[in-house]
Structure formats: structure tokens, C-alpha cells
Homo-oligomer: A and B are copies of this chain.
């Protein structure tokens, strides 16, 4: 005997709707019928089929989460926070990893829509993404995380301001010859970090001395060697912590002492940054707040689906964590051997 609401009803000698009422407390039941239903449920080991319920109710208590990657600490943490908060609210998270593949990401959004998710949380993979239009035509509440999207709801770090913070810090320490390890400039967040950094330096009439471009990964940091040499920089800004860690490693191996011979500033504040020797000065992403705000906003959009409020892009300010990898500038650069 399959555990369906019908069979439970049969066994309890009541109508299916009565069982439904019991399950949803949508009507008061006499204590005897309640008892009967209860025991019928127990003997059949009945559990509601949420698929069927969703079909009927037109809501699934599920949300779709699309991320480029979850092994990157920042995204992993965001995903974790989001799953946690939604679980608390009774929502199931459907995870999709786009691996920064525009096509795949698009298909994932369509698939999630087909699965009738009540809402969508998207960290899109590139400016060429096709999810923007998709999100609109699908008319399903969507919040973009980590990246600002004009004309859509989004919660993101104020990357420009983060760049400003990094630059200001180095400037105040007396650094004037500054190098940059810059990730993919096509990634809007990276471009903004750089822009903020440059803008702040420009305020003081300083230009970036030397800049190397590469991908936002550890390997790229090793290329810091290209910045070094005669009259090289006294400080380096990496557009994320992973890259900074790579740079840090190369510097140590090249005989630089940190921070005496070279100051290094990262961006993100991943866990490992705190535990390097010296610990890394970095611009900390407001990770928790981004996650929390995104969830709250989406929940709200789901609640008043009609409310055609105008989309807003929220920028959350990052903070500078001053740790051991930055110090007052020396006059002569390079290792002091």
C-alpha cells in the first residue's frame, strides 16, 4: 500500500481532504479523527509529496542558486550563507555551478525556471551573460549577487570603494611607487577595483608604476616577479587575496622580507590571509552581509510578487583589514641583503 494521502485517508476512514487539513492545520479536526489520521500516517510511514503539492499550490518553496564556482572561498561562503538562511525559512536550494560558461549558465537558469523555483539568486559569469534577458522574460523574482546589474535587483560589494581604501592605505604609508597585479579586466568587479585604486592615487597625483594582467588565481600571483627590479615598486596591490598569496610566496622566495622590503595588499579577506606570516592586509568583502541581504531581498520579492517596485542595486561597502603585510615605505626598494 503506497503512502499517499488517499491511502492514509482510506486507512483512517476519512476523506483525503481531511488528511490534508490535518497536515496543513487548515481546518480544526475532532480529536478522534486527528488521532486516526495520525496513526494511519504512522503505520503507512507517510510523507507528503512536495512535488505534487508544489504543482497544486504553484509554489515550490525552492530557490535556484547559480554561481560560477563554489571552490573559490568567497563564493563558497556566499553559497553557504544563502543555503543556510533559506533552509531556516523552509526553502530548498537548487544549486547550479556555471563554471563561467555563458551557455551553461543560461541553460541552468531556464532549467531552474522549468523546475518552478520561487526565486533565483545569480552570480553571473560575465558581462556577456544571457541571463539578464532570461531573468526578465521568465518573470521570476531574481536577485543578482556579487555583481551590480542595472535595471535589476542586485547586491554587490562596492568594489570601487574597496580599491580606494587600498590605495589610500598605501599612500598614507608613504608608498609612491606602486605595482598592481590585476585579474581579468573583463570582470566588472576587477575593473572597478582597479578604477577605484587608480582614482584614489590620481587624487594625489600618483600613477600606477607598473601593472601586470592575468587571471584571478594563485598561479598568476607568481608573476609578481615581473614587477620587481631596479627602482621597482615598494608596494603591491593584488585584485584578490589568492593572487596576493601567490605574490607573497614569490616575494618570500626571492628573499624579500614582508613588510619591510615590500608592502602587499589583497582583496577579499579569505581565511588563509589571516594566517600567512605576516598576515595579509586586505580589503574585506562584506560576505555575510551580501548573502544575508540577498536572501532577505529575494524573500521579500517572493512575498509580494505583484508589487512592481523599481529594482535597486545595493552596493555594500567593504572594509580595510590592516594586518602585517603593509608598513611604512622605505626609500630604497628590493631586498635589503
Contacts and interface: CB of A to CB of B under 8 A. Distances in A.
A245 B71 CA distance: 18
Interface string A36-63: 0000000001011111101100001010
Chain A residues touching B, range: 35 or more
A218 B277 CA distance: 14
A271 interface: yes
B275 A51 contact: no
A79 interface: yes
A199 interface: no
Interface stretch (A157-165, A189-197, A246-254, A295-303): A246-254
A272 B245 contact: yes
B92 A93 contact: no
Interface string A89-114: 00011111101000010001011111
Interface in A286-318: none
A110 B47 contact: yes
Contacts of A110: 47
Contact of A70 (B79, B94, B276): B79
A73 B271 CA distance: 11
Contacts of A45: 137
Nearest to A222: B275
A115 interface: yes
B275 A253 contact: no
